[in-house]
Structure 1
Amino acid sequence: MSENTTQTDTEPTGTPSGEDTPTQRDTNRSQKPTSKAFKEFMASHWAPSQPPEYTRDEVADHAAQRRRRVSEEFRGQRVVVPAGPLKVRSNDTDYRFRPHSAFAHLTGLGVDHEPDAVLILEPVDEGTGDDGGHHEATLYFKPMAGRDTEEFYASARHGEFWIGPRPVLEEFRTRLGLRTKDIDEFEPAVTKDAGATQIRLLRNSSPQVDALIDSARSQAGVELESAVEADGKVTEFLSELRLVKDPWEIEQMRSSVAATQAGFEDVIRALPRAVGTERGERIVEGAFFARARLEGNDLGYDTIAASGNNATILHWIRNNARIEPGELLLLDAGIEVDSLYTCDITRTIPVSGTYSPVQRRIYEAVLAAQNAAMSIVRPGVKFRELHATAVRVLAEHLDEWGLLPVSLDEALSPEGQHHRRWMPHGTSHHLGLDVHDCAQAKRELYLDGELEPGMIFTIEPGLYFKKEDLAVPEEYRGIGVRIEDDILVTEDGGENLSAAVPREPDDVEAWVQRLLG
């Protein structure tokens, strides 16, 4: 990897005593010249850039409607939504940038746009703002510097020579329908009249912006504790704003599902290389990741590639074990497309192409629970009923198998819950820009809320019998099964967005056998 520091080879490399300092050692890989001749030559002899023709993004109108709802909620208040900064991975290398989901939702920006950018909704006279609202929205970010600037070749984080072309102000202005300004103008814009104008900040996205606004509040005599508490209302509202997806978002979810299905098929084709191999789970993980980078931005979350007893570990992401013939592979994975929307699908696959009788028995019980929960999806049903319906079916199977230490009614009672030993997690969560989307929404709108058309969530029951579990017969031990699909609430029911990924046991076996040839 190329050096990415800015010390020059003409600078001193040691102290008068001949010893270098820690500060100098931090930059001891750089050999960039700084002579006047070099700078003049670097700034010249570049072909003129052809100005691109920008068109308005399809998402722009949807993002404007989302901002309009924010404007209605926070009239007279300055709303500040940072994208967040780059995050250091190791020493002087950064992770690939992903903006805060609320920022992506309100701007329409995906992929890797834009580190340190901030969206401000500035209050104006009621009804005189954007789209007849009460705010004017401006996106502040660092535009690309010209090739005649030192930043072009000297900045490893922002220079075009290092990271390629970046947007200019006009690009986002046209594509997103947003006012755009240089980030250098951000500080006075966000801190002005801090005592007279209520500032509502999406906290914990950018520590630098948090500190800047808190400092401005303190200097203006604003009571900081109450202001910070009020900031939580922004986080809560922006999370709730995503509970119901608009048509553009639904299409993004469909794209994620299609890409993820292709990734699952890549995994099955890779099974001959993975089975019987040290760290075979890594082969599975790698096959899916290759598809994610080919068709999307990244993984929606760390892939769970759990074979054998690892499938009983709910969030197994080490993926460092062998896969043995005859085992099940629990694959829980989703591809985050370029718009940053992700699906979340799980299939439990027989790596040798067929389920054993006990594997099939457990699989069919989980499938029955999932089907029961799917059957009640319709507007007006309480979200929590999905879970209650699924776990009741699981409890009935466990009772039929003689595994419950008490009666079925006692197990299902609030004082019992013995069946939850083998299904300790929730059955559903919302999906979208985050794999566990809308997590900051109020309980009465999430867990206690009613289903509405446009909501998208998982239904993912499972049974997990650990190999060390002495409460079950030996034949069950070391088997974990989860089946997870992504459900869209429609006007009169629900649509399984991931229905094309086989889940009936006969269909799964045929799917595996076909792809293995």
Structure 2
Amino acid sequence: MADSATPAPRATTNRSTTPQSSGFSDYISSGWAERVDVDVVPRDQAAFAADRRARLSQLHTGKRLIVPAGAAKVRSNDTDYPFRAHSTFAHLTGWGSDAVAGSVLVMEPSASGHTATLYFRPAAGRDTSEFYANPDAGEFWTGPRPSLSNVATDLGLETRPLVDFEAVLDLVDGNTFIVRDGDRDVTDQVDGRRLLSADSESLENDGDKDLSRDLSELRLVKDAFEVSEMRSAVDATQLGFNDVIADLPNIVEHARGERLVEGTFNRRARAEGNTVGYDTIAASGPHACVLHWTRNDGPVNPGDLILIDAGIELDSYYTADITRTLPISGTFTEIQRRVYDAVLEAADAAFAIVRPGIKFRDVHAEAMRVIAEKTAEWGVLPVSAEESLLPDNQYHRRYMVHGTSHHLGIDVHDCAAARRDMYLDGVLEPGMVFTIEPGLYFQPDDITVPEEYRGIGVRIEDDILVTDDGAENLSVNIPRTADAVEAWIARS
């Protein structure tokens, strides 16, 4: 992990035409105007990130904590996927889409708790060859990197060059915990130092698991900054849905109209934020019965429904997660509306019980009650709704095998490493944000349902904030009822 002055570029030396002469080197290194740092003020999130670090510090007194941002990931040969820092790193530093790949946050134990230091590769000097000759990190290739002083002010953190992180590795012992999935190379080096310090064959420290768990559970209740970002992400996502509806005529005309849905929404995501929070699901016709349909290579045919599950991720990485199911012709058929209204009733019933003090799992149970009642009413179930709801039966789950809710935030499936008694069996608190997303999916070859239902898939998903005395549907302004959806399409 130690940084060198001029890292070797990847897989480009056999086609490099960069001059190697001293004359060229001297010429390109001179004649530049003096670079003056722009004035920087701490970003809004800096104070919130500091509070998160303080809470984490209280949980791990006397422990050295290492949180890598992660390295760029190779897509093909010497081309990378767009870099996204590890969510935990972003949560604790406030550094989102502008984070520098390879950075590492270190929380060193101190008398007052912990001292936090951010290590990253700063801008290369123009007296080095890196700034023009390194396609991985050179300024000519990837743009200028920020200075240590600017980042220190921006994030309210002590900063040091990444090369100094080698000294931290030399201090690693059994009291050092790391976010293991942040950066494979850093984790391997920490494990190697552990072996040397402990003279044992143990690699992974149980403290690593505790750290991961605690970091997830810190995100269960959102602070004021996070709630504000969630609102903004939902607002941006509504614009994306509006764009898709406005583009429906072009979408219907194309043989792979689902791809146009994806592209139209993703265009808005790049305009309003960082990118999409997850791969957009644009599932038309029977594709809507595939829960995570992301191939998006099918047509969008009049008369069918299209299920669009999409969310915009802001530059802070906070993302919305919204699903709407639309009649492509502009109006629902009788059967389509029947299924849609049943899913809406399940969503509304689940939302109605949300308040501090109930268990997270109760939200799912309430939605499932409605799903069981509706499928029994239609004669789909082999037993009554009451019998189907018994733990040993659950026949209605054939038509909705997924859960009704998941926590939402800096990850679309947030807080994933939290303990079960804090998540599924956890008690709701003000500031929690999660989805409510019931659905009904009648597979095209499912002979347990009448033929007119087959191939219909409906999901309605909203983002919910728990308040002091109940809940707020953050996405309520994105049309939800069948009548409102039809009017939405008609207006476009």
Count of matched residue pairs:
486
Question: Is this contact kept in 2: 1:96–1:112, CA < 8 A?
Answer: no
- Please tell me whether residue 255 in structure 1 is matched to residue 232 in structure 2: yes
- Counterparts of 1:323 and 1:103, CA distance in 2: 40
- Residues 382 and 6 of structure 1, relative CA distance in 2, 3 Å threshold: closer
Question: Is this contact kept in 2: 1:423–1:463, CA < 8 A?
Answer: yes
| SS of aligned partner of 1:320 | coil
Question: Is this contact kept in 1: 2:40–2:154, CA < 8 A?
Answer: yes
- Please tell me whether residue 57 in structure 1 is matched to residue 43 in structure 2: yes
- Please tell me whether residue 365 in structure 1 is matched to residue 342 in structure 2: yes
- Residues 119 and 165 of structure 1, relative CA distance in 2, 3 Å threshold: same
Shift of 1:155: 1.1
**Paired letter, 2:155:** L
Question: Is this contact kept in 2: 1:144–1:158, CA < 8 A?
Answer: no
* Aligned match of 1:416: 393
- Counterparts of 2:241 and 2:44, CA distance in 1: 29
| SS of aligned partner of 1:137 | strand
- Counterparts of 1:319 and 1:497, CA distance in 2: 27
- Counterparts of 2:60 and 2:130, CA distance in 1: 38
- Counterparts of 1:319 and 1:392, CA distance in 2: 32
* Aligned match of 1:168: 147
Could you list the per-position Cα deviations for residues 80-115 of structure 1 after superposition, in whole angstroms to 9, with x for gaps in the alignment? 100011100100011111011000000000004121
* Aligned match of 1:325: 302
**Paired letter, 2:169:** V
* Aligned match of 1:228: 205
- Residues 223 and 69 of structure 1, relative CA distance in 2, 3 Å threshold: farther
Shift of 1:35: 0.4
- 5+ residue gaps, structure 2, are 1-6
Question: Is this contact kept in 1: 2:442–2:457, CA < 8 A?
Answer: yes
Q: How does 1:46-125 map to 2 (within 5 A)?
A: 46-125=32-111
Shift of 1:226: 7.3
- Counterparts of 1:293 and 1:343, CA distance in 2: 14
Shift of 1:6: 7.3
User: Which of the residues 428, 448, 461 maps onto 1:451?
Assistant: 428
- Counterparts of 1:75 and 1:226, CA distance in 2: 22
**Paired letter, 2:390:** S
Question: Is this contact kept in 2: 1:468–1:477, CA < 8 A?
Answer: yes
Could you list the per-position Cα deviations for residues 87-144 of structure 1 after superposition, in whole angstroms to 9, with x for gaps in the alignment? 001000111110110000000000041211110100012xx3xxxxx11000000001
* Aligned match of 2:27: 41
- Counterparts of 1:246 and 1:141, CA distance in 2: 27
| SS of aligned partner of 1:34 | coil
| SS of aligned partner of 1:81 | strand
* Aligned match of 1:246: 223
* Aligned match of 1:350: 327
- Counterparts of 1:492 and 1:409, CA distance in 2: 31
Shift of 1:30: 1.4
Q: How does 1:359-438 map to 2 (within 5 A)?
A: 359-438=336-415
- Please tell me whether residue 490 in structure 1 is matched to residue 490 in structure 2: no
**Paired letter, 1:324:** N
**Paired letter, 2:188:** A
**Paired letter, 1:67:** R
Moved more, 163-172 or 97-106: 163-172
Shift of 1:223: 4.3
Shift of 1:29: 2.1
* Aligned match of 2:3: none
- Counterparts of 2:323 and 2:407, CA distance in 1: 15
**Paired letter, 2:127:** D
Normalised to the residue count of structure 1, the TM-score between the two structures is 0.92
Question: Is this contact kept in 1: 2:68–2:105, CA < 8 A?
Answer: yes
- Counterparts of 2:335 and 2:52, CA distance in 1: 49
Shift of 1:50: 2.8
* Aligned match of 2:267: 290
| SS of aligned partner of 2:446 | coil
| SS of aligned partner of 1:225 | coil
- Residues 380 and 223 of structure 1, relative CA distance in 2, 3 Å threshold: farther
- Counterparts of 2:235 and 2:296, CA distance in 1: 24
**Paired letter, 1:259:** A
- Counterparts of 2:357 and 2:130, CA distance in 1: 56
**Paired letter, 1:174:** T
Shift of 1:230: 2.3
**RMSD between aligned residues:** 1.4
| SS of aligned partner of 2:202 | helix
